[in-house]
Amino acid sequence: MDGRFWAGPDRVKVDAGELRLLSAWEVLEARREGDSLAQDGRERALCRNACLVARALERKGKPVFGDGQAALAALRVEEIAALADRWAQFNREHNPSPLCGERELERRKKAWSTRVMSAFSGACSVCLALCPRRNVRKG
């Protein structure tokens, strides 16, 4: 485990393997690689999506494609679009944007705090006894 147990899963299963969440740097690199592959503006979205899929799609912890060009050569346009859409949906679910609204952010924060506290209930209740939760007044 990488210490992010509270953040939710970092992978989602798809027919072709698993899609993993990417760091901001990896997404930027995929965009740059896609821009270099595109011959004109009409090809840019497809090339960027292929590069994103190449970075995110794994089988048994190893990348399925070496780069975006390999993904373009192996997959149909519809497959690239479907995988990129699924990755975007998964990313939005686990990395909410401030643009999604205050109510949604509050709901997710509450769900996160409840999940962390429930991890200490039951067999690990000694942890709560040793480190009781402090109620902090907001003033």
Is domain 5-95 given the CATH code 3.30.2220 in the classification? yes
pLDDT digits over 75-111, tens only? 999 999 999 999 999 998 877 666 666 676 677 667 6
Q: Where in the chain is the domain with CATH 3.30.2220?
A: 5-95
Whether the CA torsion 31, 32, 33, 35 is positive or negative: it is: positive
Cβ-Cβ contacts under 8 Å for 104 (sequence gap 6 or more)? 96
pLDDT in tens, 22-77: 999 999 999 999 999 999 999 999 999 999 999 999 999 899 999 999 999 999 99
pLDDT of residue 76: 96
